[in-house]
Chain A
Amino acid sequence: MTESHYAPRPGDFDPLDAAPQAQTVCRPPLSRVQATWQRFRRNRSALISLGLILALLLFTLAGPWFWPVDPARQDLEQISRPPTLGKVALLVADDRPWHGSTAEPPPALPDATALPAPTGLTILEPATTRSVRLRWEPVAGAAGYAIYRSERPPADRADLGLPLGETWSGNEVGYEDRLQLEDRSYYYSVVTSDGFDESAAFAVVEVAVAQGITLADARSRGLVGPDAAIGDRVRLEAHPLGTDYLGRDLLARLIHGARVSLFIGLAAPLLFVLLGTLYGGLAGYMGGRIDRAMMRVVDFVIALPFLLFMILFKIAFGIGPGESGVLPMLVALVLLSWPSSARLVRGQVLQLRHEPYVQAARLQGAGAPYLIRSHMLPNILGVILVDLTFAIPSAIFIEAFLSFIGMGVVPPTPSWGSLCNEGMNTMLTHPHELFFPACLISTTVLAFNLLGDGLRDALDVRLTEGT
């Protein structure tokens, strides 16, 4: 083993003149918000949910501007339509009385059953849903005619369908039908009568009834210009999501319903989370006997059967069944929901109070405002945010539930819940009236749930970075 001798040279103990070769920070430091956003961005479903929620807010706020249809206007030509671009209707003259067609009176014959059926049964004007005018040739010996309408071809004399009316003389050979006509084919039958009995023979004509709209009606609804003439074809209002049982535009109703549903869904959680945070924060910060007393109140309010008291509150506000009460619903929701947020925040604050860094700050003489601002708030803000995100879908659910059982928002004010309630009645024949509002509720709730999951994961440093 050779010992190497070290011979110091001058300059060995002088400081280096080069820059220190320590680790260099090549990216700017991330703030907490930035770091959270980076983690959040990696969660694809949460990101999609955020986009969905933004789209929904746009739908609600800007919707009436893009789709300025009155949600209460009834389009009686288009009732319970599935999504439609609008029917084509024939412009007809305004309603005017019709005195029918008359012919020379023929001599009477004794036997009614032997009377022949009228011939030449035809329609006089284009048949529309406004009116169908029938005309036939007079029968010798007739004292009147009976007119029937059926939706299918009559099989025999007993199968003529709905008796529409009778004419009271043999020369009255015209009839106008205006009874709840729809745009479909009808079979009109005319039977000769001698004034007491009807003949066994009948004449049938098939009439294809077109959708009609009077000129005045079309003008007042702004469907045609000033130069429109009778006989023109006009397109009725388009209903992209169809209409409900009163012919009201479903899209417009959903937009206006969203304002009610989302207002309650957003405003109530914001208010009660804020209230709960203040209450719980105070209780946790004070601690001791005050904390115990304050939490006793929370225990009581939490024990109340929630939905029963929502209903009770609504009645107590003097809002009877069948009346809308958006504001009372909001107040009741806030009054009954804050305790869970209070519990959550109190727990967090209690835990934080015992953290070494908080105690260190306190030992150094930090006051309450400083402690709350720089230690408590930043640390519980994430928890509050997640709580808020999960409170929103449940508030939307509660509004929908109450409106569904008729204790929340009721017609004519639309809300998603009351729209579901209405859609339920026509579910079997017109499922679109239930489908669209139900879809919107589900999508919204789903989006907020996924957003909440994403936020929780992004804010929970333990999950993503691992300790």
Chain B
Amino acid sequence: MLKFMLQRLVSGLVTVWFIATATFLAMHAVPGDPLLNDKAVPPEIRRNLEARYGLDQPLPQQYLLYMGNMLQGDFGISFTQQNRRVNDIIRAHFPVSALLGVAAILIAAAGGILWGALAALYRNRLPDRLIMLLVVLGISVPGFVFAALAQLLLVNVNRWLGFTLLPVAGWGTPAHLVMPALVLGLGLLAFLTRLMRSSMLEVISADYIRTARAKGLSPLRIFFRHQLRNAILPVITVLGPAIAAITTGGFVVELVFAIPGLGRYFVQAVQQLDYTVIMGTTVFYGAFLVLMVILVDILYGIVDPRIRERGHD
């Protein structure tokens, strides 16, 4: 198990290095000048600025400097927001995104497992048909449309009730979290429901279920101890990619619901061509996602011993 974990960790580190390098090269391939502004800058100020951002050095030197700083966890200073360090931006806004993402994944996982299991139990009957219809809708409708519809719904419900049931946008109280998390989790929920249904269908016809039934176990006990536990395995495997999907889906939800998360900051930085913030958040997100995938792999190795014996691949 230790060897398996180490293997994953090393390949993860190499991946992060790859992401950092690719980001560095991509950002330096951008034509134009990061300090190019509407205003003409006097040459001495310009020299100072270049020295401050390390732009006066040759590219390999800049790369070494960038990697060195990154190893110490320093992403530099923002280009557009005076004197704001990228680390501060990440520290201030990532927890918001993380909270939203965790809530969304919890909703999606709980809902997906429950609905998928139900659909499988009622295979080809009305509940199954109904759930699968909703799933197809959930997979086909883009997240930002859900977000817009949710806002429209909230506006009308609030107006009809005469008081604010749930806030339409903003951040700060638990009530602000409900709708964005629901919207963010919806697509994943639909996907997980489908996955859970097919995996549950496979489990239901397995020999050990027939044995359990023959032993006279109660249906509830069979459902929880034998069916659900075995059917959940594939759901865990897709959690890694799911976290990535939630992270980027969060960009849209944060924009639409005006939530001060890192995703909204990233989109803003991209729109303002804030080089250091773009590089910093990209590498940060990349490292975060790699870490999550490794954690999911290890989790899967713990849950299903067949995986870690086969090793990686």
Main secondary structure of the interface of A (DSSP, over half): helix
Q: How far is the CA of A407 from the CA of B271 in the complex (A)?
A: 8
Query: Is residue B26 within 8 Å, beta carbon to beta carbon, of the partner chain?
Result: yes
Query: Is residue B232 within 8 Å, beta carbon to beta carbon, of the partner chain?
Result: no
Q: Mark B145-169, 1 if CB is under 8 A from A, else 0.
A: 1001001100100000000000000
Closest to B249 in A: A401
Contact B31 A446 (CB under 8 A): no
Contact A407 B270 (CB under 8 A): yes
Stretch at the interface among A176-184, A264-272, A315-323: A315-323
Q: How far is the CA of A91 from the CA of B15 in the complex (A)?
A: 69
Residues A401 and B27 in contact in the complex (CB < 8 Å), given A441-B145, A442-B142, A442-B145: no
List the A side residues contacting B293 at CB < 8 Å.
Answer: 303
Query: Is residue A57 within 8 Å, beta carbon to beta carbon, of the partner chain?
Result: no
Q: Mark B278-311, 1 if CB is under 8 A from A, else 0.
A: 1001100110011001000000000000000000
Contact A316 B29 (CB under 8 A): yes
Q: How far is the CA of A406 from the CA of B256 in the complex (A)?
A: 13
Query: Is residue A286 within 8 Å, beta carbon to beta carbon, of the partner chain?
Result: no
Contact A308 B282 (CB under 8 A): yes
Please report the total number of A residues contacting B with Cβ < 8 Å.
40
CB distance from B178 to the nearest CB of A (A): 20
Contact A308 B286 (CB under 8 A): yes
List the B side residues contacting A407 at CB < 8 Å.
Answer: 267, 270-271
Q: Mark B238-249, 1 if CB is under 8 A from A, else 0.
A: 000000100110
A-B contact count (CB 8 A): 125
Q: Mark B12-23, 1 if CB is under 8 A from A, else 0.
A: 001100110011
CB distance from A146 to the nearest CB of B (A): 38
Contact B273 A321 (CB under 8 A): yes
Closest to A453 in B: B136
Contact A400 B142 (CB under 8 A): yes
Which residues of A, 430-460, contact B by the 8 Å Cβ criterion?
431, 434, 438, 441-443, 445-446, 449-450
List the B side residues contacting A441 at CB < 8 Å.
Answer: 141-142, 145
Closest to B145 in A: A438
List the B side residues contacting A322 at CB < 8 Å.
Answer: 271
Q: Which of B140, B155, B270, B282 contacts A445 (CB 8 A)?
A: B140
Query: Is residue B252 within 8 Å, beta carbon to beta carbon, of the partner chain?
Result: yes
List the A side residues contacting B278 at CB < 8 Å.
Answer: 312, 315
List the A side residues contacting B286 at CB < 8 Å.
Answer: 303-305, 308
List the B side residues contacting A309 at CB < 8 Å.
Answer: 22, 26, 282
Which residues of A, 286-343, contact B by the 8 Å Cβ criterion?
299-300, 303-309, 311-313, 315-316, 318, 320-322
Residues A420 and B144 in contact in the complex (CB < 8 Å), given A308-B285, A315-B273: yes
List the A side residues contacting B32 at CB < 8 Å.
Answer: 318, 320
Query: Is residue A58 within 8 Å, beta carbon to beta carbon, of the partner chain?
Result: no
Closest to A307 in B: B248
Contact A405 B255 (CB under 8 A): yes
Q: How far is the CA of A404 from the CA of B142 in the complex (A)?
A: 10
Query: Is residue A361 within 8 Å, beta carbon to beta carbon, of the partner chain?
Result: no
Contact A299 B11 (CB under 8 A): yes
Closest to B275 in A: A315
Q: Which of B23, B143, B155 contacts A312 (CB 8 A)?
A: B23
CB distance from B255 to the nearest CB of A (A): 6
Contact B270 A401 (CB under 8 A): no
Query: Is residue B220 within 8 Å, beta carbon to beta carbon, of the partner chain?
Result: no
Residues A315 and B30 in contact in the complex (CB < 8 Å), given A308-B285, A401-B142: yes
Q: How far is the CA of A228 from the CA of B148 in the complex (A)?
A: 46
Q: How far is the CA of A25 from the CA of B270 in the complex (A)?
A: 67
Closest to A445 in B: B140
Contact A405 B251 (CB under 8 A): yes
List the A side residues contacting B244 at CB < 8 Å.
Answer: 305-306
CB distance from B264 to the nearest CB of A (A): 10
Closest to B255 in A: A405
CB distance from A428 to the nearest CB of B (A): 7
Closest to A312 in B: B26
CB distance from A21 to the nearest CB of B (A): 42
CB distance from A335 to the nearest CB of B (A): 11
Residues A303 and B19 in contact in the complex (CB < 8 Å), given A315-B278, A424-B256: yes
Contact A306 B248 (CB under 8 A): yes
CB distance from B195 to the nearest CB of A (A): 14
Closest to A405 in B: B267
Closest to B15 in A: A303
Query: Is residue B139 within 8 Å, beta carbon to beta carbon, of the partner chain?
Result: yes
Contact A449 B256 (CB under 8 A): no
CB distance from B9 to the nearest CB of A (A): 14
CB distance from A431 to the nearest CB of B (A): 7
Q: How far is the CA of A300 from the CA of B290 in the complex (A)?
A: 11
Q: How far is the CA of A101 from the CA of B290 in the complex (A)?
A: 79
Query: Is residue A427 within 8 Å, beta carbon to beta carbon, of the partner chain?
Result: yes
Q: How far is the CA of A98 from the CA of B251 in the complex (A)?
A: 55
CB distance from A433 to the nearest CB of B (A): 11
Q: Which of B14, B22, B145, B266 contacts A304 (CB 8 A)?
A: B22
Q: How far is the CA of A311 from the CA of B269 in the complex (A)?
A: 11
Q: Which of B142, B255, B282 contacts A397 (CB 8 A)?
A: B142
Q: How far is the CA of A434 from the CA of B141 in the complex (A)?
A: 13
List the A side residues contacting B248 at CB < 8 Å.
Answer: 305-308, 401
Closest to A443 in B: B140
List the A side residues contacting B151 at CB < 8 Å.
Answer: 427
Closest to A427 in B: B148
List the A side residues contacting B143 at CB < 8 Å.
Answer: 401
Closest to B244 in A: A305
Closest to A310 in B: B248
Q: Mark A371-404, 1 if CB is under 8 A from B, else 0.
A: 0000000000000000000000100010011001
Contact A316 B144 (CB under 8 A): no
Residues A406 and B271 in contact in the complex (CB < 8 Å), given A306-B248, A318-B31, A446-B136: yes
Q: Which of A303, A308, A316, A431 contacts B30 (CB 8 A)?
A: A316
CB distance from A134 to the nearest CB of B (A): 38
Q: How far is the CA of A304 from the CA of B278 in the complex (A)?
A: 15
Contact B19 A431 (CB under 8 A): no
Contact B271 A313 (CB under 8 A): no
Q: Mark B176-219, 1 if CB is under 8 A from A, else 0.
A: 00000000000000000000000000000000000000000000
List the A side residues contacting B282 at CB < 8 Å.
Answer: 305, 308-309, 312
Q: Which of A300, A321, A393, A397 contacts B270 (CB 8 A)?
A: A321
List the B side residues contacting A446 at CB < 8 Å.
Answer: 136-137, 139-140
CB distance from A205 to the nearest CB of B (A): 35
List the B side residues contacting A304 at CB < 8 Å.
Answer: 18-19, 22, 286
15 A–B pairs (Cβ distance < 8 Å), ordered by A: A303-B19, A303-B289, A304-B19, A306-B244, A308-B266, A309-B22, A312-B27, A315-B278, A321-B273, A406-B271, A420-B144, A424-B256, A427-B152, A428-B152, A438-B141
Q: What 10 additional pairs, Cβ within 8 angstroms, besides A438-B141, A445-B142, A449-B139?
A: A305-B247, A308-B282, A309-B26, A315-B30, A318-B30, A318-B31, A405-B252, A446-B136, A449-B140, A450-B136
Q: Which 7 A-B pairs have the closest CB atoms?
A: A446-B140, A318-B31, A307-B248, A321-B271, A438-B145, A316-B26, A303-B15
